[in-house]
Structure 1
Amino acid sequence: MNHIQLKNISKIYNANSTQAQSAMALLAEGMDSVAVKEQTGYSVGLYDINLNIKAGELHCIMGLSGSGKSTLIRHLNRLIDPTSGEIWVNTTVNTKTHAKDNTQANTAPVDESSSNAINILELNDKQLQHYRQQTVSMVFQHFGLVPHMTVIQNVAYGLRVRKMSVSERHEIARYWLNEVGLTNLEHSYPDELSGGMQQRVGLARALATDNPILLMDEAFSALDPLIRAQLQDQLLALQDRLNKTIVFITHDIDEAVKVGQRISILNGGRLIQTGTPSDLRHNPADDYVEQFMSAKA
């Protein structure tokens, strides 16, 4: 069962509707994003992205710098709105139920007629706030911790927004700090922690809200290789128990192959291919994908 469906998502930066349509017409003719920028002056974030993300899978989005991967993930919590397209999310998916059913045959799209499926682009401010609080969490590349808050206050922040009592939210925060290996650091401040520890706090904060969708934008890329490998292992161990729908952004093919059940490769704002690591390695859609897969150590 699919959890998220992107339909014909395009993003043209700094352009009004008419200007964006002009740029997209050039893209439809096959012009690449660099040439469109040179001819029109408008930057292409994404063009005509169609992607289904399954319930309970760890789905990697990868590509080189400027390929559109961070733009894409920010559409899923509407930090960025598209120029055109739709984003459907089933808000009542039980990822624990569907996590073990991620076979290739499991490709039915989100049912847009279902009362459980919402086009998040149609949400008003109050509805969007509820969606962000109850459905989707995010772990950022540079941790995103509040410096004047203690570790436990940072982890409990999403629960504080839900008006949960201090004792209850701190109990939950302590549980997740223990899960990510940070027991007894709850009263420390972020600047007292190493980068790896700070990222564990960020992960604990995202998990504490128990939202079904977890977005991870280059979450481990700022860390040294040893700590990065440890956090990859920890994420996989947690995912084996939690079965979240995780969208994981990376530019590192080794990381994508290690953690991703499926990988989507972007180039110049276009989705080139989606598949398992084996699919991409043995049946690459083009030379770009082949080069990415051959770069794996």
Structure 2
Amino acid sequence: MNHIQLENISKIYNATDSQAQSALALLAEGMDSVAVKAQTGYSVGLYDINLTIKAGELHCIMGLSGSGKSTLIRHINRLIDPTSGKIWVDTAINSTTPLASIKTETLHTAESTINILQLNDKELQQYRQQTISMVFQHFGLMPHMTVLQNVAYGLRVRKMSISERHETAKHWLNEVNLPNLESSYPDELSGGMQQRVGLARALATDTPILLMDEAFSALDPLIRNQLQDQLLELQARLNKTIVFITHDIDEAIKVGQRISILNGGRLVQTGTPEELRQHPADDYVAQFMRAKH
């Protein structure tokens, strides 16, 4: 079952609608993003991305710096809106509160599958609270709040009672192996501990979709490996739909059930690690897979 579907998603930065259409026309003719930037002055974030992410899948998006991977993930929670295209999300999968009240066009396959680009501000807030959560590269913790308060923050926004949200936060701190640190502050923790707090905060809201943008890349190799193992252990029990951004092929192969590789804002290939290794779409993919050690 599909959980997220990106349909013909393109993003042109720093351009009016007509200017963006001119850039898209050049891309459609086969010009690459570097040449489009040189000719027009407009930056290509993404071009004509068509990607389906399955329910319960841990899907890695990878590529070099500037390939568009962080731009892509930020479209899924609408921190960025595309220049063109649609983003479909089934809000009923693994959710006790599907967004049935939202009035938007739906796919014929399921009434709960909505185009999130049509959500108004109130509906978007509801979508972010109930359907999707995010773990950031640089932790994103609030320094004036304790560890417990940070983990419970999303539940506080939902107006959950103090006792219930603190009980939930303590549960997830225990799940990420951080018991007895509720009263500590972020600056008292190591980088690995801070990222565990960020993961606990995302899991505490119990949203079916989890976005992870280079979540482990700032950590030392040993801690990074431990957190990868912990993520896989949690995913085996929780069955979330996880979109995991990385520039590290070793990490992508270890955690990803499928991997999508971006280059210059274009989606080059999607497949299992074995499919990418055995049948690379081009030299760019082949070079990534040869870099595996």
Range of TM-score over shorter length: over 0.9
Give the corresponding residue for 2:60: 60
Q: Distance between the aligned counterparts of 1:91 and 1:81, measured in 2?
A: 19
Residue 231 (str. 1) matches residue 227 (str. 2): yes
Q: How many residues align?
A: 283
Give the corresponding residue for 2:78: 78
Q: Distance between the aligned counterparts of 1:76 and 1:192, measured in 2?
A: 32
Cα drift, residue 112 of structure 1? 4.5
Structure 1 gap ranges (5+): 96-109
Give the corresponding residue for 1:39: 39
Residue 47 of structure 2: SS of its match in structure 1?
Answer: strand
Residue 228 of structure 2: SS of its match in structure 1?
Answer: helix
Give the corresponding residue for 1:219: 215
Give the corresponding residue for 2:256: 260
Q: Deviations over 1:17-54 (max 9, x none)?
A: 10000000010111100000000000000000000000
Cα drift, residue 114 of structure 1? 2.6
Q: Distance between the aligned counterparts of 1:160 and 1:48, measured in 2?
A: 38
Q: Distance between the aligned counterparts of 2:26 and 2:290, measured in 1?
A: 31
Give the corresponding residue for 1:22: 22
Give the corresponding residue for 1:114: 110
Residue 183 (str. 1) matches residue 179 (str. 2): yes
Residue 290 (str. 1) matches residue 286 (str. 2): yes
Residues 284 and 290 in structure 1, CA contact (< 8 A), matched pair in contact too: yes
Please tell me the residue identity of whatever aligns with 2:82.
P
Residues 88 and 112 in structure 1, CA contact (< 8 A), matched pair in contact too: no
Residues 259 and 270 in structure 2, CA contact (< 8 A), matched pair in contact too: yes
Residue 88 (str. 1) matches residue 88 (str. 2): yes
Residue 38 of structure 2: SS of its match in structure 1?
Answer: helix
Q: Deviations over 1:220-268 (max 9, x none)?
A: 0000000000000000000000000000000000000000000000000
Structure 2 gap ranges (5+): 96-105
Q: Distance between the aligned counterparts of 2:110 and 2:271, measured in 1?
A: 27
Length-normalised TM-score, structure 1 = 0.94
Cα drift, residue 115 of structure 1? 1.8
Match of 2:202 among 200, 203, 206: 206
Runs of 4+ aligned structure 1 residues displaced above 2 Å come to 110-114
Give the corresponding residue for 2:128: 132
Q: Distance between the aligned counterparts of 1:140 and 1:62, measured in 2?
A: 16
Q: Distance between the aligned counterparts of 1:171 and 1:281, measured in 2?
A: 45
Q: Deviations over 1:46-95 (max 9, x none)?
A: 00000000000000000000000000000000000000000000000138
Q: Deviations over 1:113-170 (max 9, x none)?
A: 5320110000000000000000000000000000000000000000000000000000
Give the corresponding residue for 2:98: none
Residues 176 and 200 in structure 2, CA contact (< 8 A), matched pair in contact too: yes
Cα drift, residue 184 of structure 1? 0.2
Please tell me the residue identity of whatever aligns with 1:30.
G
Superposition pairs of residues 141-160 of structure 1, within 5 angstroms: 141-160=137-156
Residues 112 and 118 in structure 1, CA contact (< 8 A), matched pair in contact too: no
Q: Distance between the aligned counterparts of 1:49 and 1:176, measured in 2?
A: 35
Please tell me the residue identity of whatever aligns with 1:11.
K
CA RMSD of aligned residues (A): 0.9
Give the corresponding residue for 2:102: none
Residues 131 and 209 in structure 2, CA contact (< 8 A), matched pair in contact too: yes
Please tell me the residue identity of whatever aligns with 1:40.
T
Q: Distance between the aligned counterparts of 2:94 and 2:176, measured in 1?
A: 23
Please tell me the residue identity of whatever aligns with 1:261.
Q
Give the corresponding residue for 2:269: 273
Q: Distance between the aligned counterparts of 1:172 and 1:246, measured in 2?
A: 21
Residue 78 of structure 2: SS of its match in structure 1?
Answer: coil
